[in-house]
């Protein structure tokens, strides 16, 4: 298996190191990751400016590149720039859970969204800052679940989140609602600083990603890159 691993925390992040260490058992691992943190970049790509791509050494990878752009550009450059072929894209492990509406902003999810547009299966992997060890201890369990349930036959792109505490089980979930909102503090010279605050309320419904992870389950959510509202399309066509 040919595996591309990327993230949005930067190539030096602890989470991507953990994912590379684990994924070696599955096949040949290539790392294409941002040179620095690119959180919140979703599927943004560079269209007007040149960017640097630097080949680097990365233990456990057959090749590695530090890309001075976004997570989506990391995948895009590997596939379009170098003509690489991959069977799977793994993105993460993100330093912080990507749940609810946060998925729309996530660079971690953006990388596997880009992969899907090139016909490549992808898994975005996230855990709370204190949940990385939980994620590492359950990589095998979750991947076995993907294989046993043949999940890629249903959907090419998946968003996986690990709980901070002990894993009670695995749940197929749907995207929840708004998790964070922002206040903007004026700091002078027409400058404003965003401050995020938690605004979601838990309901105890294991079908919702936010609730499932809070209750101690690994949340596995099928996600799509198409922007077409198919219900409306089918109704009005």
The enclosing domain of 94 has a CATH number of 3.40.1210.10
Cα angle for residues 20, 75, 44 (degrees, 5° grid): 120
What pLDDT is recorded for position 176? 87
pLDDT of 146 over the 90 cut: yes
Q: How many domains does the chain have?
A: 1
Residue 10, preceding peptide bond in cis (omega within 30° of 0): no
Determine what percent of the chain falls in helix, strand and coil, rounding each to the nearest 5.
Answer: 30, 30, 40
pLDDT of 138 over the 90 cut: yes
Which domain covers residue 227, as residue numbers? 2-236
Query: How many other CB atoms are there within 10 angstroms of residue 57's CB atom?
Result: 7
Assessment of whether the complete model's pTM goes beyond 0.85: yes
Q: Which among 158, 136, 135, 100 has a CA at the least distance from the CA of 218? A: 135
Q: Looking at 82-91, 142-151, 158-167, 198-207, which range is the least confident one?
A: 198-207
Provide mean pLDDT across the span 115-137: 96
Residues 6+ positions from 208 with CB-CB distance below 8 Å:
173, 174, 176
- What is the phi/psi pair of residue 223, to 5°? -125, 155
Q: Tell me: the pLDDT tens digits for 16-75?
A: 999 999 999 999 999 999 999 999 899 989 999 999 999 999 999 999 999 999 999 999
Query: Can you tell me the distance from the alpha carbon of 220 to that of 111, in angstroms, rounded to the nearest whole number?
Result: 17
What pLDDT is recorded for position 215? 95
| Average pLDDT value for the chain | 94
């Amino acid at each position: 298996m040919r595996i591309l691993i990327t993230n949005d925390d930067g190539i030096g992040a602890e989470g991507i190191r953990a994912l590379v260490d684990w994924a070696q058992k599955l096949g040949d691992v290539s790392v294409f990751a941002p040179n620095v943190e690119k959180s919140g970049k979703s599927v943004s790509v560079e269209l007007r400016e040149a960017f640097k791509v630097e080949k680097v050494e990365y233990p456990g990878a057959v090749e590695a590149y530090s890309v001075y752009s976004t997570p989506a550009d990391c995948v895009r450059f590997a596939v379009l720039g170098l003509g690489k072929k991959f069977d799977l894209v793994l993105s993460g492990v993100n330093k912080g859970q990507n749940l609810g509406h946060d998925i729309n902003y996530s660079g971690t999810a953006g990388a596997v969204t880009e992969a899907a547009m090139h016909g490549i299966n992808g898994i975005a992997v996230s855990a709370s800052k204190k949940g990385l060890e939980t994620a590492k201890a359950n990589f095998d369990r979750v991947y076995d679940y993907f294989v046993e349930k043949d999940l890629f036959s249903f959907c090419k792109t998946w968003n996986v989140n690990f709980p901070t505490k002990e894993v009670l089980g695995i749940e197929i979930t749907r995207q929840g609602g708004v998790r964070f909102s922002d206040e903007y503090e004026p700091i002078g010279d027409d400058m404003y600083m965003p401050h995020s605050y938690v605004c979601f309320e838990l309901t105890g419904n294991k079908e919702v990603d936010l609730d499932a992870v809070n209750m101690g389950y690994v949340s596995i959510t099928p996600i799509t890159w198409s922007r077409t509202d198919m219900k409306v399309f089918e109704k009005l066509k």
